[in-house]
Amino acid sequence: MTDLNKLLNPLFLKDIEIKKIIELLFFSYRDFTAGPDAILEKINFGRAHHRVIYFVGKQKNLTIKELLLILQITKQSLSRVLNQLVKEKYIVVSVGEDKRTKKLTLTQKGQDLEDQLTMIQTKRIKKIINKFSEKDINGFKKILYAMIEQKNKIKFDEINNK
């Protein structure tokens, strides 16, 4: 196990300390996504499918335009993933207020998959976060939030009803 004192070096602004943070983000994200990745691999899906399923499940009747703004991917990239999710009956696409707007909704199959993937990550976070104080957790959330570009904070705040 890593000595936390080595991670909490008072010389935190030196490049070597910043690189430790980069590595912590890499390894923690890799491990955070490992459980869902294993399930997705069994059904020939990847992280892009997971992101689409997650955000379509989070926001009812999400439009394709809104999803593109959240994910910041091209229409072409989304189209490939979305077509597969629709074809395999995880998502339903319907016409919005005008004929040009397409709304996305999870099917029951899609909701079941989203629940399963989110449950894995929720359990992981709860298991770890329960070891820390509210101050530590809030500090961690402040750092993560501060790392988001201003224009993306607007979208984050919007989808989290801040």
- One-letter amino acid at 62 equals L
Residue 155 and residue 99 share a domain: no
**Residue numbers of the domain that contains 12:** 4-131
Same domain for 38 and 77, yes or no, is yes
Those residues of the chain that have pLDDT short of 50 are none
For residue 20, the one-letter residue type is K
Q: How far is the C-alpha of 159 from the C-alpha of 41, rounded, in Å?
A: 28
d(CA 138, CA 19) in angstroms, rounded, equals 23
Q: Model's pTM, two decimal places?
A: 0.86
Same domain for 105 and 82? yes
- pLDDT the model gives residue 31: 97
| pLDDT at res. 15 | 86
- In a shared domain, residues 124 and 154: no
**Whether residue 110 is found in the same domain as residue 47:** yes
- Residue 127 and residue 139 in one domain: no
Query: Domain check: are 116 and 156 in the same one?
Result: no
- In whole angstroms, what is the distance from residue 158 CA to residue 141 CA? 17
Pairing of strands 62-63, 91-95: unpaired
Looking at the fold, whether 113 and 158 belong to one and the same domain comes out as: no
Q: Provide the domain count of the chain.
A: 2
DSSP 53-74: HHHHHHSTTEEHHHHHHHHT--
Distance of alpha carbon 46 from alpha carbon 29, whole angstroms: 15
Looking at the fold, whether 95 and 144 belong to one and the same domain comes out as no
Mark whether 121 and 81 lie in a shared domain: yes
pLDDT, residue 95, reads 87
In this predicted structure, what is the pLDDT of residue 16? 86
127, 143: one domain = no
Rg of the Cα trace of the chain?
18
Orientation of helix 47-58 relative to helix 75-87, angle to 10°: 80
* Domain shared by 124 and 136, yes or no: no
Q: What is the pLDDT of residue 105?
A: 97
